Chains A and B, each alone.
Chain A
Amino acid sequence: MNKKAGPLFYIFLAIFVFLVMFPFIWMLVSSIKPINELFGDKAFSPFTSHPTFENYISVFTNYPFLKYLWNSFVVSGITTLYTVLIASFTAYAIARLQFKGKTVILGLVLSVSMFPQIATISPIYILLKNIGLTNSYLGLIIPYTTITLPLSIWILVTFFRKIPFDLEEAAKMDGATLMQTYWKVILPLAVPGIFTTAILVFIAAWNEFLFALTINTDQAFKTVPVGIAMFEGQFTVPWGDITAATVIVTIPLVIMVLLFQRRIVSGLTSGAVKE
């Protein structure tokens, strides 16, 4: 296989990158246009002679956008912390300890991760409504577990399996208990894997839509994806606000992806690729 990249390859690459990024570039361009340039003749012009931040100001003044961001952050943050903690115990047991029923448990985890959310929503909604947890953070954190827990167990198991067994054996020889081995030997080595899992779980929780849409309908508890999807103007679609809001949520994402791309890729492919 030709492992050297020629000029043609770079042209192909440039086109590919451009196509993938074009919608974002266009959103960025549109977001700094004054509103009248989003419609009519100037709608298709990639440049504006009157750049403005009015759309960005509008997003924060006309909608509780800061509140949306905060809600998403709190819900995703807490979900991530608690699922990764619980999943790390389970993954450790599955990957490192000898007990019966491992394959069954792993199979259960895998099948649950394939459950369509719509199949669980009616009982969860009715339950949360009856105990008064709709329109609360906990009302989202609880159902998000369905998505994030199987995901974290699945990824963490592959990470735990990669830690060399010799270290554990050595700790055993020195008389460490299993719990000591976990805290002092395995956990420090698993930190990169746990961190990777946390990033993926956070993204999954941050992006969730169906539960957020149905359970937290109150403005004060909406998350970012639902908030943006529900942007409505009085007479026309508020495209200016939508472009600005999209850019606002994409920028931190771009930074995160640039910083953690290797980890994310290793997490994404860990469960999916076999030798």
Chain B
Amino acid sequence: MEVKLNPSPSPKKDPGRAKTSSSKKRKASEKRLAYMLVAPSLLLILLIAIWPVLQSFYYSLFDLRLNNPTKSEVTLSYHLDLEKYLNSYPFLINVLEDEAGKAKGSSAETLNGLISELKEVDAGIQEDSAVKKQYQQVDDKLTNMEPVSEELSSVKVDKSDALKLDKTLHKVSSEVKGLKGLKNEEDALGLSSSLNEAVIKPNFVGFDHYKNNLTDKRMWMAIWNTSAFTIVSVFLELVIGLAIAVLINKAFFGRGLVRATILIPWAIPTAVSAKMWQFLYDGQNGVVAHIFEKVGLVGNATDLLTTNLGAMFSIIFTDVWKTTPYMALLLLAGLQTISSSLYEAASIDGASKWKQFTTITLPLLKSSILVALLFRTLDAFRVFDLVFVLTGGGPANSTETISILAYKRMFEQTNFGDGSALSVIVFVCVAVISMIFIKVLGRDLLTDR
């Protein structure tokens, strides 16, 4: 393969450039242009990569559930949904007054007491002039049967008012339940509970999601699965990839074909290859499962996707199939930068092939290997498509990786707060792994060549 690698032209410094004023001007304009050219990319990266990660962290501090209307947004303060409030409050008062009129003695007293308490709370809410204005607007719209916008409907209220409303409503429902023989008991209860839903409490939970996750067995299981998958598959890919790279690092007939062969598993969508392997691993009709059974690798063809170990093996095998050729390609490119004269000299000195490999190839290939390892480890650690399609994390969560768990929390249980906490955990793991690698690799990954 004639991959010509970075002939490394270092930027030439123009002699005398800094001396004249015109070149100074030019330098300044060069700088300005450079920042202008870099700006759009930086802005995009900031908006769709950095902001989401920070926002994920912010979400992870809240009890955010998209399927629960009182928790579907992050709020730090108490809010009142005026539309809901005004759709229940007057009717609740009506029902209670109606009952109070019919009831006798102490029941009537209790009911009247509740009514006045509710009215007091209502007055308390309307005390603020801004709230009152919005309150009236929503009320007018509701009387005219006009739609109320979300913005108009939501209003910030004092914590004390909100808590008082909440308390009073609890009192209403418990006392209504206590007073036996009310005709419209169900109405009163229904209205008071829907009134309660109008109060949106702050859903800030601090680090609770992290606390819960870090003590959750399932989370540690997912971390373990992810690490096991990452370490085993990347190790196999490196060893086999290196072996293949060393073996095909020579001139031979049909190079193009081999190179194309190597690229196809890499280029095919992971989800599609996972679906394909699902067919090959199928316990009844899968040819690979059948072959594995015949050679005794598994006891029974169905073991592959239905047992814990079999499923993990299947995922690793597929990943190795898909990525080893790519790894070989990266390492081969590194090998081709090693001058053959080194090997010739070593041969003359009588060094064995193995000795040449350990003393010439490995040391000179070190940075290629580390870079390939870095990218592969990070890729493997965030594995999602392969597991999602091939096993769905099963059987019995035995192949559930941390990304899969986060996905399930977010999109199956619509628990975005908890899911975001998990995704922040993935992010931190990835950051730690890359920092370790970069520490080993040194800064030369980034500097001008």
Contacts and interface: CB of A to CB of B under 8 A. Distances in A.
Contact of A266 (B3, B275, B447): B3
B52 A119 contact: yes
Interface string A192-223: 00000000000100110110011000000000
A97 B30 contact: yes
A161 B269 contact: no
B207 interface: no
Contacts of A107: 446
A98 B11 contact: yes
Contacts of A40: 285
A44 interface: yes
Given A20-B261, A86-B40, A265-B1, A273 B11 contact: no
B252 A158 contact: no
Contacts of B3: 265-266, 269, 273
Interface string A77-100: 000000000110110111011111
A220 to B, nearest CB: 19
Given A121-B410, A207-B269, A242-B276, A145 B423 contact: no
B272 A90 contact: no
Of the listed residues A39, A111, A265, A269, the one surrounded by the most CB atoms of chain B closer than 10 A to its CB is A269
Given A111-B434, A268-B329, A272-B330, A106 B446 contact: yes
Interface string B1-24: 101111111011010000000000
Interface in B28-85: 29-31, 33-35, 37-38, 40-42, 44-45, 48-53, 55-56, 59, 66
Contacts of B259: 261-262, 265
Interface in B371-427: 371-372, 375, 378, 381-382, 384-385, 388-389, 403, 406-407, 410-411, 416, 419-420, 422-424, 426-427
A63 interface: no
Nearest to A256: B267
A43 interface: yes
Interface string A100-118: 1001011111111011111
Contacts of A214: 407, 411
A28 to B, nearest CB: 11
Contacts of A97: 30-31, 33-34, 37
Given A116-B426, A254-B264, A228 B33 contact: no
B206 to A, nearest CB: 18
B215 interface: no
Interface-centre pick from B55, B251, B284, B434 (highest chain A CB count, 10 A): B55
Contact of B271 (A23, A86, A94, A209): A209
Nearest to A213: B388
Given A99-B35, A269-B333, A30 B279 contact: yes
Contacts of A209: 269-271, 384-385, 388
A122 B333 contact: no
A122 B34 CA distance: 33
Contacts of B356: 1
A203 B267 contact: yes
B48 A93 contact: no
A99 B30 contact: yes
A32 to B, nearest CB: 15
Interface SS majority for chain A: helix
Nearest to B72: A126
A261 to B, nearest CB: 5
Most chain B beta-carbon neighbours within 10 Å: one of A17, A23, A145, A257: A23
B146 interface: no
Contact of A243 (B279, B372, B411): B279
A142 B4 CA distance: 34
A131 interface: no
A114 B284 contact: no
Given A116-B423, A231-B275, A150 B45 contact: yes
B265 interface: yes
Contacts of B381: 116
B337 interface: yes
A153 B449 contact: no
Nearest to A158: B6
Contacts of B189: none
Given A99-B30, A99-B31, A114 B330 contact: no
A149 B321 CA distance: 28
Given A228-B271, A265-B333, A121 B423 contact: yes
B14 A261 contact: no
Interface in B220-249: 244, 247-249
A165 interface: yes
Interface string B434-445: 100000000011
B355 interface: no
A116 to B, nearest CB: 4
A272 to B, nearest CB: 5
B250 A93 contact: no
A145 B44 contact: yes
B269 A178 contact: no
Contact of B382 (A117, A125, A265): A117
B275 A10 contact: no
A233 B248 CA distance: 44
B258 interface: yes
Contacts of A94: 38
24 contacts: A1-B343, A5-B252, A13-B248, A20-B264, A20-B265, A97-B37, A118-B407, A120-B52, A121-B423, A124-B52, A162-B9, A164-B9, A165-B11, A210-B403, A225-B272, A228-B271, A228-B272, A229-B274, A249-B272, A264-B263, A269-B3, A273-B5, A274-B368, A275-B6
Given A93-B35, A119-B56, A265-B3, 6 more contacts: A39-B284, A97-B31, A207-B270, A214-B407, A261-B256, A273-B330
